Amino acid sequence: MARERRRATHAGSWYRDDAEDLDAQLSSWLSHAKPVLSPARAIIAPHAGYDYCGACGAFAYRQVDPSKIKTVFILGPSHHVRLSGCGLTSTKIYETPFYELVVDAKMNEELQESGPFETMHISTDESEHSIEMHLPFVAKVMESRKNDFTIVPVLVGSLSPDKEALYGKIFSKYLADPQYLFVISSDFCHWGQRFHYTLYDKSFGEIWQSIEALDKMGMDVIERMDPGGFSQYLKQYENTICGRYPIGVLLNAIDAMRKHGNGFKMSFKFLKYAQSSQCKTMRDSSVSYASGALFIG
């Protein structure tokens, strides 16, 4: 029998489990960011421990205007289970230190009817951090409507370009509607021997500068909202962007909206970039973080 609640399994380790302390931390980070592309229709934000990436992630969440949002889709990559498609939760409630987030059961049914969606086992759901790390931020920025919105967690597997296009088309009709917000969960380059990725172009300077240049090449392609270009970039540089598939789904959703020809004016902009540390020797390692937002006029 499916359990109705997904526990906040990473609270107390990856982020603070005391609501008052967590609220003060998120409020401080959000206060240092400015709304630039608000109201955002979609955001890309990192999912590492908050001490590493929380300040960066706040720049994306600062673009969220909760006033019209009824449903928040959270697309996170699968780190522990191999999926060739996308998975939906079997639970009704996601716990956070702030308050409970209600899963949109009707939307899950609608998605199940529209495409090849699997159902996550509760152990997969609770072991995965890529979705959970966004829940406190979602709860915080949506607190003025805490009884009036739902969430749709989506675990994104290792998708082929055709499947990215398929899911992008499915999600495009929701992306086109301002009552929906999409949260795309992704860290950027994982660099170092422990990640089996040590690409270093010395023409950019030190290792950390080469990593930044590599990431920003990818970010530029995302800002151009070019799904084919992003796939080509990943193929050429093999950058270890862990949320590459959720990002690919978003870019394909944008592309599907363009092809539909509704005359949407769309712009994507990255607002913050950070690294967990600055790599200077081949023995070092780091993870990069980037926060951006999609505006649709």
> What is the domain count for the chain?
1
CATH number at residue 60: 3.40.830.10
pLDDT at res. 260: 80
Three-state DSSP class for 152?
strand
pLDDT mean values, one per 10 residues, the chain (297 residues): 86 98 98 92 98 98 97 95 92 98 97 93 94 98 96 97 97 97 98 98 98 98 98 98 98 94 88 98 98 96
d(C-alpha 28, C-alpha 47), whole Å? 18
Its domain, for residue 138, covers 5-296
Joined tokens for residue 225? 């909202």
Judge contact between 159 and 202, C-beta under 8 A. Answer: no
pLDDT tens, residue by residue, 130-175? 999 999 999 999 999 999 999 999 999 999 999 999 999 999 999 9
Using the Cα atoms of residue 160, residue 166, residue 170 and residue 171 in order, give the sign of their dihedral: positive
Count other Cβ atoms within 10 Å, centred on residue 47. Answer: 27
What would the 3-class secondary structure string for 112-138 be? Answer: HHHCCEEECCHHHHHHCHHHHCCHHHH
- Neighbouring-strand partners of residue 152: 73
- Neighbouring-strand partners of residue 6: 94
Judge contact between 244 and 186, C-beta under 8 A. Answer: yes
Q: What is the pairing mode between strands 150-156 and 86-88?
A: antiparallel
Helix pair angle (161-175, 244-260), 10° resolution: 60
Q: What is the pairing mode between strands 5-6 and 93-94?
A: parallel
pLDDT tens, residue by residue, 104-116? 999 999 999 988 9
* Its pTM surpasses 0.75: yes
For the chain, the straight-line distance linking the first and the last C-alpha, in angstroms and rounded, comes to 44
pLDDT at res. 1: 46
d(C-alpha 7, C-alpha 94), whole Å? 6
Give the residue carrying structure tokens 């040590």: 198
pLDDT at res. 2: 61
